Amino acid sequence: MRANAISTLNEQQQQEEMIQARKRSSRRMLVLETLGVLVALTFFGIPFYFVLINSFKDRAGASLLNLSFPENFQFLNNYKEVLTLNDGVVLRAFMNSTIITVLSLTTIIIICSMAAFVIARRSGLAKKLNYVILIGLMIPPSIVPTIWLLQGMGLFKTFPGIISLEAGLHFSFACLLYTAFVGTIPKELDEAALMDGCGPFNLFFRVIFPLLKPVTSTVIVLSSIQIYNDFENMLYFFPGADNATVQLTLYNFTGIYGTEYHLLFADVLLISIPPLILFIFFNKKIVDGMTAGAVKG
């Protein structure tokens, strides 16, 4: 009887302790969570807030580079000024960047999926070509010879030139993704298609290519961000005022008369809108593609 009572007491005590421990750990969790959010807000939130708030200030206010609320609130003026500057160079840049991004992407998807199909299916070819493709992933493009070549072909400073170039420079990454994915599609499918009288073209474009949709969407998301954000290649291979692309428009506000911060930050925000939209709609896709591409490729 007494032993029984003691054991219940013990159990009660144990239960109490467990509840205490759980409380402690949940309190610790709460502290950790709050800390996490605070740290994230400090490190990632402040730069965004800084750009946003300064893009609403006037010239003098923005040049103070602080986080205070604008005294002279310029809600849309700065943005209007950025968009109308130099006969609308920013709008033209948006146009140019869109054309380059869309056409390079189309080229990348076509050439990489076709190449990957043969590379993955022909026995031994993938191994032989692996290093040739890998160097494109590691080695930076050689600048002056490329310019010289483009000039020789009459493609320097032209849309076909920069589009082919972007496609060539992004070939390796997309091709490796596609090759890995074609490998997971059973070969029996090809045999069945052959039995049904498919030729190579029909086999690829009507059977295989539709199955590559997951990789294609990964390539669309990742490569479009890279090409849209590309600064280096545009600087070297697509110079000239008419050829402005979005990244180069930022240059307009850091002139010899000092930086016009209010316009610079308004432009930073404007050119960040397309990636933001992409991010909102494809958040999960981007992360999946990033991990799939990176861990396997």
Q: Which amino acid is at 95?
A: M
Phi and psi angles of residue 43, each rounded to the nearest 5 degrees, phi first: -80, -35
Site for another protein in 49-88 (CB under 8 A): 50-51, 64-67
Does residue number 258 form part of the binding site for another protein (CB under 8 A)?
no
CB of 119 to another protein, least distance (A): 8
Does residue number 11 form part of the binding site for another protein (CB under 8 A)?
no
Q: Which amino acid is at 59?
A: R
Q: How many residues does the chain have?
A: 297
CB of 136 to another protein, least distance (A): 6
Contact 291, 95 (CB under 8 A): no
Among 87, 139, 240, 257, binds another protein (CB under 8 A): 139
Site for another protein in 116-135 (CB under 8 A): 117-119, 121-122, 132, 135
Burial of 61 (0-12, 13-18, 19+ CB in 10 A): buried
Does residue number 115 form part of the binding site for another protein (CB under 8 A)?
yes
Helices 143-152, 159-183: crossing angle, 10 deg rounding = 120
Does residue number 36 form part of the binding site for another protein (CB under 8 A)?
yes
Among 6, 19, 29, 38, binds another protein (CB under 8 A): 29
Pick the piece of the chain touching another protein (CB under 8 A) from 8-16, 69-77, 209-217, 279-287. Answer: 279-287
Nearest to 251 by CA among 267, 273, 229, 270: 267
- Return the number of the residue (105 or 119) whose C-beta is nearest another protein: 119
CB of 176 to another protein, least distance (A): 12
Among 5, 138, 210, 240, binds another protein (CB under 8 A): 138
End-to-end Cα separation, the chain, in angstroms: 69
Site for another protein in 180-219 (CB under 8 A): 187, 190-191, 194, 200, 203-204
The Cα–Cα gap between 27 and 64 comes to 41
- Return the number of the residue (69 or 231) whose C-beta is nearest another protein: 231
Pick the piece of the chain touching another protein (CB under 8 A) from 9-17, 77-85, 87-95, 269-277. Answer: 269-277
Any idea what DSSP says for residue 141?
P
Among 91, 99, 111, 180, binds another protein (CB under 8 A): 111
The Cα–Cα gap between 101 and 226 comes to 9
Centroid of chain to Cα 156: 26
The Cα–Cα gap between 238 and 99 comes to 13
Residues 6+ apart with CB under 8 A from 288: 218
Site for another protein in 144-163 (CB under 8 A): 144-149, 151
Does residue number 44 form part of the binding site for another protein (CB under 8 A)?
yes
Among 84, 231, 258, 281, binds another protein (CB under 8 A): 231
- Return the number of the residue (27 or 122) whose C-beta is nearest another protein: 122
Does residue number 167 form part of the binding site for another protein (CB under 8 A)?
yes
Among 140, 186, 197, 255, binds another protein (CB under 8 A): 140
Residues 6+ apart with CB under 8 A from 113: 178, 209, 212, 215, 216
